[in-house]
């Protein structure tokens, strides 16, 4: 079986990939890839995987995700890290004060590149913004948004859920780019 390299420094993404790709030989290459300025996660993911391939010279994957809040015209979109570094989840909660529509979603793109072909897999996870920052820290979190994001159909934030609850939750209107890629890749290598 050929080795697949996942280039990222995000511990939460690494934990998720190891779970979704348990039947695949995955090597983690911890590196902070350049992130082009764009609100298009598909474009960002493509640029990242191309940079990753130049580093490792072997088939690799990279992921990018964004967070869309309906009441804020989609803000912060793909600018999640910038918004968390500047206003943080407390700032997002401040912007959401008095808003009845608390619908939001994570949108993600996983890109695979083998030096010849690019394949991209989209994911989407619907939810709502909580009224307060709540929950416990975990090495599986992708970002601090876990303290304010409640998956559709749940009354708990991701940060309040146990590992088992997060893994076994019913996914309403949810598609994982990692799961989509894992299915495709398993068929590719068989």
- Confirm whether 32 is a catalytic residue: no
134-140: long-range pairs with CB below 8 Å, 24+: 134/159, 134/160, 135/159, 135/160, 135/161, 136/160, 138/163, 139/11, 139/12, 139/15, 140/11, 140/12, 140/15, 140/16, 140/166
Residue of 39, 64, 137, 163 marked active site: 64
Tokens 């490792």 belong to: 56
Task: Tokens 């940079």: give the residue.
Answer: 51
Query: Can you give the C-alpha Rg of the chain in angstroms?
Result: 17
Q: Which two tokens stand for residue 158?
A: 């991701």
Residues carrying an active site annotation:
64
């Amino acid at each position: 079986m050929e080795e697949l390299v996942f280039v990222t420094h995000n511990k939460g993404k690494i934990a998720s990939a190891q779970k979704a790709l348990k039947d695949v030989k995955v090597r983690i290459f911890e590196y902070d890839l350049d992130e082009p300025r764009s609100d298009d996660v598909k474009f960002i993911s493509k640029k990242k995987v191309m940079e990753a391939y130049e580093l490792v010279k072997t088939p690799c994957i990279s992921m990018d995700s964004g967070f869309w809040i309906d009441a804020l015209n989609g803000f912060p979109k793909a600018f999640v890290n910038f918004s968390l570094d500047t206003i943080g989840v407390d700032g997002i909660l401040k912007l959401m004060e008095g808003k009845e529509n608390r619908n939001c979603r994570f949108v993600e793109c996983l890109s695979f590149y083998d030096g010849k072909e690019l394949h991209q897999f989209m994911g989407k996870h619907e939810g709502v913004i909580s009224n307060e920052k709540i929950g416990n820290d975990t090495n599986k979190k992708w970002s601090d948004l876990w303290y304010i994001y409640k998956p559709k159909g749940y009354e708990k934030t991701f940060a309040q859920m146990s590992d088992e609850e997060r893994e076994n939750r019913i996914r309403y209107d949810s598609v994982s780019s990692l799961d989509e890629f894992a299915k495709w890749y398993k068929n590719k290598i068989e």
